[in-house]
């Protein structure tokens, strides 16, 4: 079996503690400008007290993408994120 390259991986990153004043569309727009991001799902916490939210970000090349996101900020708040998992999708013969 050949070595699997990180570029063939798909991953899911959990981004936590997003300020409530940031609109969903702003969050999606922020991530849409980053290479390797394929989808964003914004979630509002049930308790509503803190007003903080989180989002799931689907990415290609997860380790490089997470490294690129480190240190970035949304509305002056540094991103807190964790790579929650990755997989190697089936390759189609081409």
For each successive 10 residues of the chain (94 residues), what is the average pLDDT? Answer: 62 90 92 91 71 87 89 90 83 54
pLDDT of residue 87: 82
Instruction: Write down the architecture of domain 7-87 according to CATH.
Output: 2-Layer Sandwich (3.30)
The domain segmentation of the chain, as residue ranges, is: 7-87
- Please answer whether residues 25 and 50 qualify as being in contact, where contact means their C-beta atoms are separated by less than 8 angstroms: no
27 contacts 55 by C-beta, under 8 angstroms: yes
Cα–Cα distance measured from residue 33 to residue 44, given in angstroms and rounded to the nearest whole number: 22
Round to whole Å and give the CA distance between 26 and 80: 17
Question: What pLDDT is recorded for position 1?
Answer: 37
Q: What is the pLDDT of residues 13-36, one digit of tens each?
A: 999 888 888 899 999 999 988 889
User: Residue 84: what pLDDT?
Assistant: 92
């Amino acid at each position: 079996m050949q070595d699997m390259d990180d570029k063939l991986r798909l991953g899911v990153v959990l981004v936590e503690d997003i300020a409530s004043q940031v609109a969903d569309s702003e969050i999606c727009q922020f991530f849409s400008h980053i290479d390797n991001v394929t989808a964003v799902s914004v979630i509002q916490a049930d308790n509503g007290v803190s007003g903080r939210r989180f989002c799931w970000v689907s990415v290609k090349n997860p380790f490089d993408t997470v490294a690129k996101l480190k240190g970035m900020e949304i509305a002056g708040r540094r991103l807190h994120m964790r790579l929650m998992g990755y997989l190697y999708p089936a390759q189609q013969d081409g």
